């Protein structure tokens, strides 16, 4: 996963295991706290429950919370099950709110009960509110640990607030300015605060052009805003523009990766799934794949009926069948190339539906170049390698030109049409394009053969 160069940062698991075996817990404790919590997590996840509990209990408070929040959910579950009530309470108290919500969403009911026992009523209300935000919305991504300042504070007062409350906040580098109704008025960076004089008022320094998202905005929209403006944190507001939370860039990097993964899955004809491949059950993996395969198989009936329709023609020149796989594959591949570029362009925002005419002409011209080169190579190949007659070679080569041009235009246009119809453009990828282009390319092929070879 990592370049070998990164070994140097990584935890020396052998050494830790040695200390663990020797029961030299003091050395283990001293050694482990030298490492980054992310690496400590990897180590603890590699241990059996008993050792994992032991090592976890050796960590200092800060590290233990960091380590816990980095763990995979099944590892969190096994620890929570084994924890004493006091330890569960510590975790509940110290965890960032967004991590706690994730925990509650993904844990078995028994664990959730154990966790909620340590929250008070107002906290449970807040948890319920957060659990109600739609999946993949800004509300479901946000956390409540932000620094809130008032516009009438001085720099000195602001720094005092940050000093006093900052340690528990997910970020102190961007502070948000609100009024007594919690309406978002502006933001100010810690950089601006520390580089100004103590008596300056926050309202004279804050930036009122604050870019924010709504609790019900989709996570893809949120990721777009992060990418466009290069922020590391974004405020989230409700319908009355009241500040309700913040989203940090590390969560957005996960969203970006997840959205790309979903596109890959859809484009390969699967229902998207957030879970990791190795963690998914065989049955679930099969279920995600079967729907599209069935749809595409049934659709291929149409292609089959074209074959049947030209049965007598094929019977007279069985040599024509030898080129069917090549023509079908080339058509499918040409169409997939175009649709992939357009789907990805639509996803990253480079291409919009208003560009359809530009895309059409671009694909048309690209297709002309590609198809002419392909068909020339193909003709030479049919003459030298396949050793067929010149008319057959010409039919095959000319079919390629029409197939490639058609495939590229269809591949270029269908994702844009899907987007226009508010469908996910990613469904218009290789598998579907191939099925459509198959039927068309065979029609072109047989009609060409019919006319040119007089069959």
Binding of a second copy by 123 (CB under 8 A): no
Alpha-helical (H) ranges within 71-165 are 73-82, 85-94, 97-106, 109-116, 121-131, 138-141, 155-165
Q: Is 5 in the site for a second copy (CB under 8 A)?
A: yes
Closest separation between CB of residue 18 and a second copy, Å?
20
In the complex with a second copy, the residue whose CB is nearer, 21 or 230, is 230
Which of 49, 82, 131, 297 lies at the binding interface for a second copy (CB under 8 A)?
297
Residue 143 burial (10 A CB sphere; 0-12, 13-18, 19+): buried
DSSP 252: H
3-class SS at 72?
coil
What lies within 8 Å, CB to CB, of 33 at 6+ separation is: 59, 60, 63
Is residue 62 part of the contact set for a second copy (CB under 8 A)? Answer: no
Residue 443 C-beta: closest distance to a second copy, Å: 12
Can you tell me which of 45, 355, 424, 447 binds a second copy, judged by CB under 8 A? 355
Q: How many CA atoms lie within 13 A of 261 on its CB side?
A: 12
Q: Which of 227, 242, 420, 450 binds a second copy (CB under 8 A)?
A: 227
Candidates 117, 242, 358, 420: give the one binding a second copy (CB under 8 A).
Answer: 358
**Binding region for a second copy (CB under 8 A) out of 76-84, 96-104, 119-127, 276-284:** 276-284
Residue span 26-55 as binding mask against a second copy, x where in contact by CB under 8 A, dash where not: --------xxx-x-----------------
Please, which of residues 86-115 interact with a second copy by CB under 8 A? none
CA–CA distance, 377 with 379 (Å, rounded to integer): 6
Q: Please count the residues of this chain forming the interface with a second copy, following the rule CB under 8 A.
A: 127
- Verify binding: residue 218, a second copy, rule CB under 8 A: yes
Give the shortest CB-86-to-a second copy separation in angstroms: 27
> For the chain, how are helix, strand and coil distributed in percent, rounded to 5?
70, 10, 25
CB of 89 to a second copy, least distance (A): 25
Beta-carbon contacts of 117 under 8 Å, excluding residues fewer than 6 positions away, are 85, 88
C-alpha to C-alpha distances, 373 to 36, 133, 169, 382, 453, nearest whole angstrom: 55, 54, 61, 14, 24
Please give the C-alpha separations between residue 290 and each of 295, 297, 299, 300, 430, in angstroms, as whole numbers: 9, 10, 14, 15, 16
Residue 57 as a binder of a second copy (CB under 8 A): the answer is no
Answer yes or no whether residue 135 interacts with a second copy by CB under 8 A.
Answer: no
Which 384-443 residues touch a second copy, going by CB under 8 A?
Answer: 385-386, 430-431, 434-435, 438, 442
**What is the Cα–Cα distance from 363 to 254, expressed in whole angstroms?**
33
**Cβ nearer to a second copy, comparing 104 with 158:** 158
Using the minimum distance from each CB to a second copy, give the nearer residue, 112 or 295.
Answer: 295
Of the candidate residues 26, 86, 121, 278, the single one contacting a second copy (CB under 8 A)? 278
> Quick check: 424 and 418 in contact, CB under 8 A?
yes
Residue 15 makes contact with a second copy by CB under 8 A: no
Q: Quick one: which segment of 15-23, 54-62, 75-83, 261-269 binds a second copy (CB under 8 A)? A: 261-269
Distance separating alpha carbons of residues 124 and 364, to the nearest angstrom: 59
Instruction: Examine residue 304 and tell whether it contacts a second copy (CB under 8 A).
Output: yes
Give the angle 158-164-166 at the CA atoms, nearest 5°: 80
Helices and strands per DSSP (H, E), number in the chain: 22, 6
Task: Compute the least distance from the CB of residue 374 to a second copy, in Å.
Answer: 6
Site for a second copy in 366-385 (CB under 8 A): 366, 369-370, 373-374, 377-378, 381, 385
Nearest to 342 by CA among 361, 366, 359, 362: 359
Of 18-26, 85-93, 187-195, 443-451, which segment contacts a second copy by CB under 8 A?
Answer: 187-195
- CA torsion, ordered 120, 123, 127, 129, to nearest 10 deg: 120
Q: Per rule CB under 8 A, is residue 59 in the interface with a second copy?
A: no
Segment interacting with a second copy, rule: CB under 8 A, options 44-52, 88-96, 117-125, 343-351: 343-351
Q: Does 452 bind a second copy (CB under 8 A)?
A: no
* Part in contact with a second copy (CB under 8 A); list of ranges 88-96, 107-115, 165-173, 444-452: 165-173
What gap in Å lies between CA 445 and CA 328, rounded to an integer? 10
- Told to check if 128 binds a second copy by CB under 8 A, we report no
């Amino acid at each position: 996963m990592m370049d070998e160069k990164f070994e140097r940062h990584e935890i020396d698991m052998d050494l830790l295991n040695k200390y663990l075996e020797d029961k030299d817990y003091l050395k283990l404790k001293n050694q482990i706290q030298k490492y980054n919590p992310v690496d400590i997590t990897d180590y603890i996840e590699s241990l059996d429950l008993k050792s994992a509990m032991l090592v976890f209990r050796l960590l200092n408070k800060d590290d233990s919370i960091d380590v816990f929040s980095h763990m995979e959910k099944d590892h969190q579950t096994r620890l929570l099950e084994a924890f004493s009530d006091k330890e569960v309470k510590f975790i509940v108290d110290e965890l960032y709110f967004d991590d706690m919500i994730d925990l509650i969403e993904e844990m078995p009911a028994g664990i959730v009960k154990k966790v909620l026992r340590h929250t008070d009523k107002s906290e449970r209300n807040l948890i319920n509110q957060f659990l109600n935000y739609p999946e993949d919305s800004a509300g479901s991504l946000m956390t409540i640990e932000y620094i809130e300042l008032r516009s009438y504070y001085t720099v000195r007062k602001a720094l005092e607030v940050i000093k006093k409350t900052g340690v528990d906040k997910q970020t102190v580098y961007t502070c948000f300015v609100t009024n007594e109704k919690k309406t978002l008025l502006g933001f100010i960076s810690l950089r601006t605060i520390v580089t100004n004089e103590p008596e300056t008022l926050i309202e004279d320094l804050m930036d009122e052009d604050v870019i924010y998202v709504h609790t019900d905005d989709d996570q893809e929209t949120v990721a777009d805003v992060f990418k466009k403006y290069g922020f590391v944190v974004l405020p989230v507001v409700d319908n009355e523009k009241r500040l309700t939370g913040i989203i940090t860039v590390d969560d957005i990097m996960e969203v970006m990766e997840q959205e790309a993964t979903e596109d890959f899955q859809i484009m390969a004809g699967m229902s998207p799934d957030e879970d990791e491949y190795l963690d998914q059950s065989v049955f679930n993996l099969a279920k995600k794949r079967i729907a599209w395969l069935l749809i595409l198989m049934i659709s291929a009936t149409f292609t089959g009926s074209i074959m049947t329709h030209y049965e007598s023609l094929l019977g007279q020149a069985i040599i024509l069948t030898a080129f069917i796989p090549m023509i079908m594959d080339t058509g499918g591949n040409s169409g997939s190339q175009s649709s992939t570029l357009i789907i990805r362009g639509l996803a990253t925002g480079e291409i919009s539906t208003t560009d359809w005419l530009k895309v059409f002409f671009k694909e048309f011209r690209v297709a002309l170049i590609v198809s002419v080169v392909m068909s020339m190579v193909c003709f030479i190949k049919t003459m030298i390698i396949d050793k067929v007659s010149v008319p057959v070679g010409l039919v095959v080569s000319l079919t390629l030109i029409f197939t490639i041009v058609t495939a590229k235009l269809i591949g270029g246009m269908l994702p844009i049409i899907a987007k226009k119809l508010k469908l996910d453009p990613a469904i218009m990828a290789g598998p579907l394009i191939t099925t459509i282009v198959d039927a068309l390319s065979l029609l072109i092929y047989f009609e060409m053969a019919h006319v040119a070879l007089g069959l």
